[in-house]
Every structure is written in C-alpha cells, then in structure tokens.
Structure 1
C-alpha cells in the first residue's frame, strides 16, 4: 500500500515552501476527517488535478516530530475533553527534512477559529528556555506551569488547492511515546482541511462526502494522551476511540 501511495503522490504537481506563503492561513477554520489508508489512495487519485503537493529536497511525504507540553494537572487535555471553547495547545515541532524546529501555540476561540503563533527554536527544549517561556506568556497572557507531556511522530503530505485559498494536511503513520510507553496507529489517516471558513465545495470534501465520510472532530494530542496515560477521564472521547480502533484493527 505504501508503494501505491508514493506512486500517486508523485503524480501531483509540486509546490515549494516559498509558493505556499500565500496560503499560510495562520488564522483559519480547521475541518478534520478520519479514514483508512486504503480510502486515501482512491481519494488522492480523484483530486490530483485540483491540488499541488509540497516538495522539499525531492521529498513529498515528510516526517514531523512533536513534543507537547501541559500542566501537571493536564489542563490542556481536560479543557479539550470538557469542550471548553477557548483552549490552548503548546508544542515544539521539528520538520525533519529541513531540520527546522518551532515552538508553536494553537489557540481556539469561541467561534471555531484557530490562531497559530510560532517562533523558531534551535531544537526541542524539554526544559523550556527563558525566551520560550516569555513567548508563551506574552501570547497566552497566562503563566502556565508547563512540563513535557508526550512525544508524537507522523508522516505528512501537504496539498494546496490550485484555485481556492485552501490547504490540506494528510497525516499517516501516527505514533506516540513518553518514557517507556509507546503506541502506534497503523492504517489511520487524519485529513485536515484548512480554510478561511469551511467550504463544502472543496474538491477533497466533495470526494469524501461521496464516500459518506463526514467531518469528524479529533485531536491527535488527546488520542495520544489516552494511549499513553492510564486513568484519564475520557467518557466524551469513548466513541472516537471505538471509531479509531475499528479503522486500525
């Protein structure tokens, strides 16, 4: 299946990082879909003329590694679980193909918008530097007691609509770890459509709809936390876990 995916991905027209600046969409609406990897292959075949794919150093399936931070009480996880509309995620993400690393803050507002702010850092900082702590405090207007809580890694394809201001991220080979605990999700694909506002005429949304695949709210961070930490409150995520386990079985 991986060979099929690579073959299809190589049939897309490429786009460079510089060309993607016009669709950076740091303030946006994110809409997610969860599918099996076998469905991804057929969808990509049908939309290959509607999107270009990010290519860096001749690579189109790019590896990302992230380190998430939370408080000792796991505030960010519980805010998400309890459906708090204004919530925050803080992570460091490394783009392995370019060896660039960023401290990123994602903030959701009550209108469903996501604001993403970031600064470059030299490398992962399990112990946050003074500069990083100041950036977090200035951005969030809060003083969180933060600790490294979970690592994750995945492979990503990034597509850009040739006609509309729309980007897609397609994540596969998702895995999590913290200390000696590890969890990998095979066959799971998370597609995230990033737009100024949700547009159902998007080619990828249309093709997914034809397969009766509808938008599905899911957080890689929360799923990872449940995979690694036992005893977390998860009643509102129970159906999501059942769906994911069915896909990855």
Structure 2
C-alpha cells in the first residue's frame, strides 16, 4: 500500500465492528472486484461520500490468512473455471490479529449473488459436517476428501458506505502447498459488496474508467501457480496484473 492510499484511508472517520456488522453484514450479496494501482484506488476512495473505515483499537488494516481446500481432482476449481452456476469454495480463514479461525463456504444464490456461510474452525469433524450440509442444500453433491490446495495472505481495510461495504486488500500473496509464492505486485484488490444495485463506490469507479475484473483469490491464484490448469476465465487478469514466475521457499 502506497503512502497516498494509506493517507486517504487514515483520514476517513472510524466505524466500530458492531455497527459495521449491524448495518451491512451482507452474507448474501453481489461482489464486484477491481484490480488497481494503489494511487488510482486512493483517487476514488477519497471521494466516497459518507465513507467510514473499520477501526478496532485504533488499527485499520487487518491480516487475513486463508487455506483453500478442494477435492484431489479440484472439483471446485473446475466448476468455477467453466462458469457453472452451482459452484463453491471452501476455506479456513484466520484473522491473524484477533487469532480467530472460521471455516467458510461460498456458493451462488439467485441472480449470481454470493452466499457465504461459516462456522468456527476449532472442531474439524463438525466443520466437515457443516461443509457437507451447506453444499447439499445448494444442490452440490461433493463426495470424498477435501485437501489443502492453495493459501493466501493479505492485509484488508474495510469501509462502510451506506448499507454497502468496500474492502481494500493490499500485499496479496498466493502460496502453494509445495512452497511456491506469487505476489500481486503494485496492485490492490478493491471489492464492493452490496445488494443487487451497484453501490456509490461502483459508480465512482466506473466514472474514473475502472471496470470490474475477473479475479478470484482461489481460481485466479491456482491458475497462476499451475499453468497446466484451465485459465481462460481469468486470462485478462493473469496477463495484465500477475507476474509470470513464482519463488520457492524452503
């Protein structure tokens, strides 16, 4: 995150976690994502009327560490790569500053809305039953094991705008179980989360010439780390914004 973007976010008035959740929990929502240079993001976010930023104990950026799981044959990835309506993502997300961990399942609702359900991640057997139940209710028959296939880490800043949310993810790094690392260099991911209508943030982004990008932290990251996988759905994002090599860690 550049000094310009940091300064813009620091100038916004704060909002508490309780008010943010009470006003815009948005577990069923429409997500629009934009991949932008940090200063371009700052130019738009600094013009958002009435925006407030989540602050907890004076802190405004929070670490997220996620591990995505899928079947050994990557059923969830291939459903997303083919644009199937009945698709899913399963991850264990850790909020590194708070030390909390949740198992989260994302499915698709009516009109392309994202539906997120979650349960505390400390009971492994209970979490797997929860995952199976969510998928069955969504019409997805998932059989067999789920194994770790991708990790992500980044720092997130969350804004409240009326009843919509805007998140800014900086310093995103993907990692493979084998130790390969792929950073998103000189870019932030701005995501709007709202009802069916575009938010004020979307309209300002469009006026500034920015359009939603096809980026999934799971699908795009896995395709980037494994070039043998289908990538047409994310080709534009991969070629415009991602480095072409990974680094191996010991």
Deviation per CA, 1:71-115, whole angstroms, max 9, x where unpaired? 111111111110101110000101111111100000013520111
Structure 2 distance, partners of 1:182, 1:118, is: 27
Deviation per CA, 1:142-182, whole angstroms, max 9, x where unpaired? 44421011110011110101xx3111111111101122211
SS at match of 1:227: helix
Any conservation in 1 of the 2:2–2:38 contact (CA below 8 Å)? no
Indicate which of 218, 224, 231 corresponds to 1:234: 231
**Structure 2: any 5+ residue segments left out of the alignment?**
244-250
Aligned to 1:63: 63
Structure 2 distance, partners of 1:114, 1:237, is: 18
Give the superposition deviation at 1:239: 2.1
Larger mean CA deviation between 187-196 and 236-245 belongs to 236-245
Give the superposition deviation at 1:24: 0.1
In the TM superposition, structure 1's runs of 4+ consecutive aligned residues that sit over 3 Å from their partners are none
Any conservation in 2 of the 1:31–1:198 contact (CA below 8 Å)? no
Q: Tell me how many residue pairs correspond in the alignment.
A: 236
**Structure 1: any 5+ residue segments left out of the alignment?**
123-127
Any conservation in 1 of the 2:185–2:242 contact (CA below 8 Å)? no
Indicate which of 210, 221, 231 corresponds to 2:207: 210
1:43 aligns with 2:40: no
TM-score by length of 1: 0.89
Aligned to 2:159: 159
Structure 1 distance, partners of 2:232, 2:202, is: 29
Give the superposition deviation at 1:5: 2.4
TM-score by length of 2: 0.88
RMSD (Å) for aligned C-alpha atoms? 1.8
Structure 2 distance, partners of 1:143, 1:35, is: 36
